[in-house]
Amino acid sequence: MFELNGKVAVVTGSGSKKGIGREIALSLSKQGASVVIADMGKEGVDEVVAEIESTGGKALGVVLNVTSEESVSNLVEKTLETFGSLDILINNAGISQKVTVEDMTLEDMKRIFNVNMFGLFLITKAALKPMKEKGWGRIISLSSVSGKRGGGVFGGAHYSASKAAVLGFSKNLAREVAKDGITVNCVAPGLVNTDIWKSMPEELAQKVIDGIPMGRPGETAEIASTITFLASEEASYITGEDIDINGGSHMD
Ligand SMILES: NC(=O)c1ccc[n+]([C@@H]2O[C@H](COP(=O)([O-])OP(=O)(O)OC[C@H]3O[C@@H](n4cnc5c(N)ncnc54)[C@H](O)[C@@H]3O)[C@@H](O)[C@H]2O)c1
C-alpha cells in the first residue's frame, strides 16, 4: 500500500529540523520516492539529505527561495537533471507572524502572501509542465485550520487569509488539470507539535489543549502520513479535497 517506488517528490521548506516538511520527506522516502529537499538554508537541507541517504533513500538538496522565479526554475531544472521527472510536489514552505489587524502593515501582509501564496503559485506552475508531459502528478499543499476558521494561536489575519487563498487556488487548479492525470489537494492541520508548541507558556498551552477534543497537539508524523496517502496511487480519485488534521478542533 502507498508504494512510491520510481516517483520523484519535491518538498518545499523541508530543511527545518523539527518541521513538518522534514517528516513529509522522510515518509515519502520510506515509501520508495526519490526526494528533493528544498529550503532556504544549505545546512538544514544537507542534514535532511544525509538523514535520508543514511536509511538507503535517494535525496537531492537544493537551496530554494519560493518567492524567486529564478530559484524555482533552478529547482525544477536540478530535479529533472538528477532524477528525470517531477511527479509529486509538496507545498510546505510557509511563514507566519503574530500580529493584530490594527497593528499590521501592508508590508506584513505582502511578506506573508509572498511566501505562502505567490511562492506556492510560482513553484506549482513550474511543476505542471513535467507532470503534464508524464500524464501523472500529485500536488499537495499545506493550508491550515486558521485558513478555515481564523484564530490561529501563532498567526495573524494575513496568515489565515493566505492559507484560505491556498484552498481556493488548489480547488480551481484541481479542475483545470483533472484530465491530465494530476490531482491537487490540501491538508489543513491544527496545532502541530513543533518547536513553537514546546516554547509556548504552560498556561497558554493548556488553554489551547482545552479547545482540542483529543486533548493534545498533532504530531508531524500524523501530517506526513496523510500527505503520503494523498501522494500515492491509492488516492487517484481524490482531487480538490482538503483534509482536516486537527484532533477534532474544527470539523466541516
Ligand atoms: N506547525 C503548525 O502547527 C502548523 C499548523 C498548520 C499549518 N502549518 C503549515 O505547515 C507548514 C510547515 O510548518 P512548520 O510548522 O513545519 O514550520 P517551519 O517553520 O518549521 O517550516 C517552514 C519551512 O519553510 C521554509 N521557508 C520559509 N520561507 C521560505 C521561502 N521563501 N522559500 C523556501 N522555503 C521557505 C523555512 O525555512 C522552514 O524550513 C507551513 O506552511 C505552515 O503554515 C503548520
Cβ < 6 Å from ligand 1: which residues? 12-13, 15-16, 19-21, 39-40, 64-67, 92-95, 115, 119, 142, 144, 189, 191-192, 194
Q: How many CA atoms lie within 13 A of 140 on its CB side?
A: 28
Question: Residue 181 — φ and ψ, nearest 5°?
Answer: 80, 15
pLDDT at position 87, please? 98
**Sheet-wide strand order for 34-39:** 59-63, 34-39, 8-12, 88-91, 137-142, 182-189, 242-245
CATH homologous superfamily, domain 8-242: NAD(P)-binding Rossmann-like Domain (3.40.50.720)
Q: Give residue 140 CA to ligand 1 midpoint distance, Å.
A: 14
* Among the listed residues 139, 125, 151, the one whose alpha carbon sits nearest the alpha carbon of residue 69: 125
Q: Give 3-28 pLDDT, tens digit per residue.
A: 999 999 999 999 999 999 999 999 99
pTM, two decimals, is: 0.98
The count of residues in the chain is: 252
Q: Which of 192, 199, 242 to mutate to test the pocket of ligand 1 (most atoms within 8 A of CB)?
A: 192
pLDDT computed for residue 196 by the predictor: 75
Does residue 237 have an active-site annotation?
no
pLDDT of the residue at 195: 80
Model confidence at 124, in pLDDT bands (50, 70, 90)?
very high
Q: Is the pLDDT of residue 198 over 80?
A: no
238 alpha carbon – ligand 1 mean position (Å)? 24
In this prediction, residue 154 carries a pLDDT of 79
pLDDT tens readout for residues 62-107: 999 999 999 999 999 999 999 999 999 999 999 999 999 999 999 9
Grid cell listed for 149 = 476558521
pLDDT at 153 over 80: no
Residue 152 has pLDDT above 80, yes or no: no
Distance from C-alpha of 78 to C-alpha of 6, rounded to nearest angstrom: 17
% pLDDT > 70, the chain: 100
Q: Strand locations in 92-222, DSSP E?
A: 137-142, 182-189
Is the C-alpha dihedral spanning 123, 241, 34, 52 positive or negative?
A: positive
CA of 179 to the centre of ligand 1 (A): 31
